[in-house]
Structures are given as C-alpha cells and as structure tokens.
Amino acid sequence: MKLKPTYVFLILSVSFLAYSFSIYIKPLSAKEDQRFNKKMSSDGQLVWQNYNCQSCHQLYNLGGYLGPDLTNVISNPNKGENIIRAMVKSGTKQMPAFNLSDNEMNSLIEFLKSTDASGKADPRKLKVNSFGMVE
C-alpha cells in the first residue's frame, strides 16, 4: 500500500495535538501547595518577566548566563529572602538596582518561593539511571 504524505502528516499532527493537550490538562490534577500563595506567585512571575530577570538568570538552568540560577535561592543558606530583597534594591557589580514597589517585591519573592518548592535545580542532586536518564 502506498502511504500518501497527507495521511502521514495528519497522523503525526493528531498525535502532536493529543500530546499537547495531555500537557495542557496537567494543572487540573495538580495538588495545591500550601508553602506559597498561588495568586501572588503568579503575579510574581509577571514581575520576573516585566523586569526581564530571565535575561541574566536561570530557573532550572534555563535562561540567561550572566548571573546564577535562582530556582532554589530562597532555601540557599547563604542567600535567602532578605539577601534577595537587598540585592534587587541595591544592585551588584553587573546587575543594576531595581526600584520595585513593595507589592512587586513581595510577589517576586513569592514566585521564587514557588520555584523553590517545585524541586531542586542543582545538577549535583541528579542521578543517572541505567537507561541514561537523569532523575
């Protein structure tokens, strides 16, 4: 039987749509995390985007390369919430000072609490299984 390109294209496209929707519905079955305020964290993500923090910083090693990864900065014993607040306010050698409102700052901190609660980004904590996948 001759396989027409149209059929192959349609089969792949339907599979892709099904795969995409399986990801879109994930939040429906997600458990509520009490360690942070969901609404504030969502606003904090907008602060992260509005000030383009991703241009220099990473979350789960995804993002810019000029500054460090901030996924677990809240639980880092050498950093933490207060240091973050101070650094954002005063800037560093490369990072300019940001004049965030109290509301923006609190939302940003809540967002970083939510990234911290989501898992560990330190590659040293990852293990490689027999299939070659990291866990």
Partner 1 sequence: MKASKFDIGNLFLVTALFMLVSGLCFGILAALIYLFPDFLKQEIGFASLRPLHVSSAMFWIILGATGCVYSGMKAFIKDSKIKVIAMIQWGLWIIAIIGIITSYFTKDFGGKEYWEFNPVWALPIALAWILFLVNFFLLVKKIKNWPVYIWMWMTGILFFLFTFSENYLWVFPYFREHFITDMTIQWKVNGSLVGSWNQILYGTAFFLMDKISNTKNTGVSKFAFAMYFLGLFNLMFNWGHHIYSLPTEKYIRYIGYIVSMTEWVFFIKIIYDWRASVSTIQKHYHYFPYKFLMAADIWVFLNMGQAILMSIPAINIYTHGTHVTVAHAMGTTIGINSMILFAACFEFLKFNSTNNNRIKYYKFLFWALQISLLIFWLSLNIAGIKKGIWQLSDNQESYSKMMESLRPYFIVFVLAGVGLMYTLSSLAFGLIKNMFTNNHSKDIVTH
For 65, list phi and psi in degrees, rounded to 5.
Answer: -120, 0
Nearer of residues 9 and 81 to partner 1, judged by Cβ: 9
Dihedral (C-alpha) 124, 34, 115, 49: value to the nearest 10 degrees? 180
Closer to partner 1 at the Cβ: 54 or 85? Answer: 54
- Residues lying near partner 1 in the complex (CB under 8 A) are found at 5, 8-9, 12, 15-16, 19-20, 23-24, 26-27, 30, 38-39, 41-42, 45-46, 49-52, 54-56, 58-69, 93-94, 96, 114-115, 118-119, 121, 123-124, 126, 128, 131-135
What does the alpha-carbon distance between residue 23 and residue 51 come to, in Å, rounded to a whole number?
28
Task: Provide the minimum distance between the beta carbon of 82 and partner 1 in the complex, in angstroms, as a whole number.
Answer: 19
**Minimum distance from CB of 119 to partner 1 (Å)?**
4
Q: Which is nearer to partner 1, 60 or 90 (CB)?
A: 60
* H/E run at residue 63: strand 62-63
Return d(Cα 31, Cα 62) in angstroms, integer.
24
